[in-house]
Amino acid sequence: MGTSPANALEAIRQRNLNEQLLNLIRPHPTLAIVVGVYILLASISLALLWLTPLSLLRINEALRPFPKIKLPGWVGGIEISLPYLILVAFFAYGDRVLSAWVARNVDQARADFTAVETLGSKTGNLDLPVFLDGRSIPALSAENLRGAFAKTKTCVVIWGEEKKSKTRLGRQIGRWGMEHDPAKRLRINLMLPVLIAEDFNYEPGKDSDPFTRTVRDKLRFDGPHPSIELVVRLLESQRILVIVDGFSDLGQKSQSMIRPYSSDFPANALVVTSRVDEKFDGIPITAIRPAVSSAAGKSGGD
C-alpha cells in the first residue's frame, strides 16, 4: 500500500525539523550537551517531586554545606550553590514538599499537645463564650476563624485578664490547625503549632534571626534538624502556627522581635495572648476576648 500524500508531507516536515535542529546543534556541541543535561535534571526533579517529595528536601539539605561553584565566563562567571546548579533547590521548598514534611511530623505535634492538656468537647469546640471582633458567640469553633486564616497573613489576638481561658483558647486553635479532617481545620493545609511562652534566648544582632531560631528549637520533628531556610518557608506558607502565650509578660526585647506588621517578619500565621488588646501598629487583627466574669478575671491573673 502506498504512502498517502498527507503522511508524505508529514515525513518531509519532520525531516526538515530534524535537519534544522542538527544545524543548530553542530556549531555549539557544548551548549547542546548542557541543555540536554539540564532537561534530564529537571525531569528527574519533577519525577521526585511527584513520587517522593521529601527526597528533594533531603538532597537539598545535604548539598547546602558545599562551597559555591563558579560558572565559566560564557555563562556569566557567577557563583552558584550546588543545589541550585543541579536544579534541586528550585523544587525543594515547593508546596508539595512542605506539605509532605508537615504530614510526616504532625503526629508528634498532636501527641505533644494532647500530653499537655485535653481540650474541648467531642465536637471540637470549647464551651467558653467569647467576643469575636466584638460579636458575642457562645463557643469558639474552627469555622469562626477560617475566614481569618484564609488570608495570606493572619494575626489573632486573644486578650483579657484571665490567663487560663486565654491559654486554653490558644492551644485549641493550635489543635484545630492539626485536625485529621480538612473540613475541621483552620486551613486546607495542615499546620504545626509552636508554643512560645518565655523570653527568647537568642540575641538580636548576634544571632541572624532570634525569632526563627526559637521557632526551630520548639518544633517537634522526626529526622534531621530542619535548616533555618526550611523553617522560614514553613512560616511563610502558614504551615507553622506560632502561638505566643503571655505576650504582655515578655520582656521588651522579646516583644520587639514579634512584629507581624513588618514585611520581613516570617510568621504569616500568629496567635498572641495578652492582658491588653494588642494593636501591632494597626495591621488587620482578629480579636478574641473570653467572656469571663470579673471575679474570675481577678483570680486568674496573667
Please say whether the dihedral angle defined by the alpha carbons of residues 37, 40, 44 and 49, taken in this order, is positive or negative. Answer: positive
The residue written with cell numbers 521588651 in the block is 252
Q: How far is CA 100 from CA 49, 92, 94, 128, 220, in A?
A: 10, 11, 10, 34, 15
Any idea what DSSP says for residue 204? B
pLDDT at residue 3, rounded to an integer? 59
pLDDT higher than 70, residue 212: yes
Please write the tens of the pLDDT for every residue from 34-50: 677 778 888 898 999 89
pLDDT higher than 50, residue 299: no
Of the listed ranges 47-51, 142-146, 218-222, 238-242, the one predicted with least confidence:
218-222
The residue written with cell numbers 498527507 in the block is 6
Say if CB 265 and CB 212 are below 8 A apart: no
Between CA 231 and CA 229 the distance in angstroms is 5
The SS3 assignment for 252 reads: helix
pLDDT > 90 fraction of the chain, expressed in percent and rounded: 45
Please write the tens of the pLDDT for every residue from 77-119: 778 888 888 889 999 999 999 999 999 999 988 887 776 654 4
Q: Give me the torsion for CA of 258, 263, 266, 268, rounded to 10°.
A: 90
Say if CB 180 and CB 204 are below 8 A apart: no
Kindly provide the residue ranges of all beta strands, DSSP E only, lying in 73-202, ordered along the sequence: 79-80, 130-132, 135-137, 154-159, 192-196
Which of 23-37, 199-213, 220-234 is most confident? 220-234
pLDDT, greater one: 76 or 264: 264
pLDDT, greater one: 192 or 109: 192
Q: Compute the mean pLDDT over every residue in the chain, rounded to the nearest whole number.
A: 82
Between CA 154 and CA 157 the distance in angstroms is 10
Q: Sort residue 81 into left (φ over 0), alpha (ψ -120 to 50) or beta.
A: beta
Beta bridge partners of 156: 271, 286
C-alpha grid cell, residue 243: 502561638
pLDDT > 70 fraction of the chain, expressed in percent and rounded: 78
pLDDT at residue 69, rounded to an integer? 83
pLDDT higher than 80, residue 72: no
Please write the tens of the pLDDT for every residue from 6-63: 655 555 555 555 555 555 555 555 656 667 777 888 889 899 989 999 999 999 988 8
C-alpha grid cell, residue 199: 523570653
pLDDT at residue 19, rounded to an integer? 56
Domains and CATH numbers, the chain: 5-90 (no CATH), 95-300 (3.40.50)
